Amino acid sequence: MNQNRLSLIWQRHWQKLITICLATTGLFLVQCSCHKSYDKDFESIWNFAQKNIYPQSLVQKYFTEKEYSDLSAKIKQAESWTEFEQSFNTFLDHLGVSHTQLYTKENPDYYFLRSLFTTKDPSQPKIYHIGMQTKLIKGNYIVPTTLEKYPAYEAGLKRGDMLISVDGKPFHPYLSFNHYPKKKHVLKYMRLGEVHSVSIAPIHESPHLSFIKASANSALVINKGSKNIAYYHLWTGTNDQILEDLKAFVKKHSDKSGMILDLRDGFGGAWWPYLDPFFKDRNNYFIATMKSKKDGEPMIPPQQKNNDYYSKPLVVLINEGVRSGKESLAYQFKKTSRATLVGNTTAGAFNMGLGGFSDQNKDYILYLSVGEMFLDRKQVEGIGILPDVGVDYPLTESLPSDPQLEKALQIITQ
């Protein structure tokens, strides 16, 4: 056997050995492309949105061959689910309707929606996170809010902080804590031009469950002069446990001088039952109607008396993060003058959303507008609910205190 043939046999055995080693360590690279193709996912999402979006007038205007071609070219360049999501959502933003957004597995909100639409269990699925919401502004992740008694809250992160890095790598709301999970991470952020560093330990929990717990964690009593003021942050209305906690809180603090109900940020989902702790009955509750491909009958609240309702002064905090069902609460409080609304105009995100592609085998969820809701035949979508007392709380800077909460306390003490 000549030297060349021996060399060829050895080379083949060596390549085979490398292939086996890589495969057994989960690093199988032979004949694999490092760039995932999103073409089939893009095609499915585009077709579903085109068929089901409301109003259908958007299809002729935006779902054109040119838009398809331009967006398809951008999707082909995407090197991650995050880039895919950002490209597709740039297109969806042009539609100008709420409840229309793509969430991929690299977005913490994907796991919240999976809990609502797929597992239907607030404790599943779990991810590593530090208990805060983020907003991408000009390429930078900004903190709008943190969940009470969660790691970001305990570490002192505040509204307006710019998130820079985690363990020396650029910050990402999902990958920073889930790509290489650790007991503790080093988080760097910028506040008022100064860079700060903090050691932070993520929790392993469903984001949906975290919002439920944070609502309960928020309950407190603020002493202001001779007044005792109860405070509660209603993060979302998507689970019966939150409603029960709210009712228990109001009942427990029925003797307090006043109450502050914080609706800011979080998610929607709340409806008539969340109003009951503050009204003696439902005689003047809003009537809801929906306009869609198949218009439904008006939704009228079933009548009932609320024996343990709270009748003392009430201030409700609102901002641009109040959306969907929670806007219906703001509407009712304003309509009846039951409470003073303090803050900024709500999101005006009041369409009916459908969670398409929400099965657990998909790496994304398309949340899609399928109808517009009206309250007492009045439009909320694109308009929102205006505060009675406007108080700005900018997201672009970190203020030393919460001016909207301070105004609410001032109103109640007066």
Q: DSSP 3-state assignment of 20?
A: helix
For the beta carbon of residue 252, count every other beta carbon within 10 angstroms. 12
Q: Supply the pLDDT for residue 37.
A: 87
Which pLDDT band, with edges at 50, 70 and 90, does 358 fall under? low
- Contact indicator for 284, 347 with CB cutoff of 8 Å: no
Average pLDDT of span 182-190: 96
Q: What would the pLDDT profile of 219-275 be if each residue is shown by its tens digit?
A: 999 999 889 999 999 999 999 999 999 999 999 999 999 999 999 999 999 999 999
d(CA 278, CA 333): 9
d(CA 146, CA 243): 21
In eight-state DSSP terms, residue 339 is: S
| Cβ partners under 8 Å of residue 180, min gap 6 | 167
In eight-state DSSP terms, residue 303 is: P
Q: What would the pLDDT profile of 200-223 be if each residue is shown by its tens digit?
A: 999 999 999 999 999 999 999 999
Nearest to 367 by CA among 178, 114, 181: 114
Q: What would the pLDDT profile of 5-42 be if each residue is shown by its tens digit?
A: 434 333 444 344 333 333 333 333 333 334 578 999 99
Angle at which helix 39-52 crosses helix 81-93, to 10 degrees, equals: 30
In eight-state DSSP terms, residue 117 is: I
Q: Supply the pLDDT for residue 35.
A: 54
For the beta carbon of residue 64, count every other beta carbon within 10 angstroms. 11
Q: Which fold has domain 128-204?
A: Pdz3 Domain (2.30.42)
At residue 179's C-alpha, the angle toward residues 19 and 358, to 5°, is 100
For the beta carbon of residue 158, count every other beta carbon within 10 angstroms. 17
- Contact indicator for 373, 290 with CB cutoff of 8 Å: yes
Q: Supply the pLDDT for residue 9.
A: 37
* Domain edges within the chain: 39-96, 128-204, 207-413
| Cβ partners under 8 Å of residue 386, min gap 6 | 334, 341, 345
- Contact indicator for 71, 88 with CB cutoff of 8 Å: yes
Share of the chain above pLDDT 90, in %: 84
Q: What would the pLDDT profile of 388-410 be if each residue is shown by its tens digit?
A: 999 999 998 889 999 999 999 99
Q: Supply the pLDDT for residue 315.
A: 98
| Cβ partners under 8 Å of residue 244, min gap 6 | none
**Mean per-residue pLDDT of the chain:** 90
Nearest to 274 by CA among 313, 328, 324: 328
Cα end-to-end distance, the chain, whole Å: 101
Paired strand residues for 165: 170, 188
- Contact indicator for 206, 123 with CB cutoff of 8 Å: yes
Show the beta-strand stretches assigned E in 167-299. Answer: 169-170, 185-191, 194-200, 203-205, 220-224, 227-233, 258-262, 288-292
The H-or-E segment that residue 321 falls in is: none
List phi, psi (to 5°) of 121. -135, 115
Q: What would the pLDDT profile of 77-107 be if each residue is shown by its tens digit?
A: 999 999 999 999 999 999 999 999 999 999 9
Q: Supply the pLDDT for residue 15.
A: 41
Tokens of 253: 């603090």
d(CA 150, CA 148): 6
Residues 207-413, CATH architecture: Alpha-Beta Complex (3.90)
d(CA 236, CA 214): 10
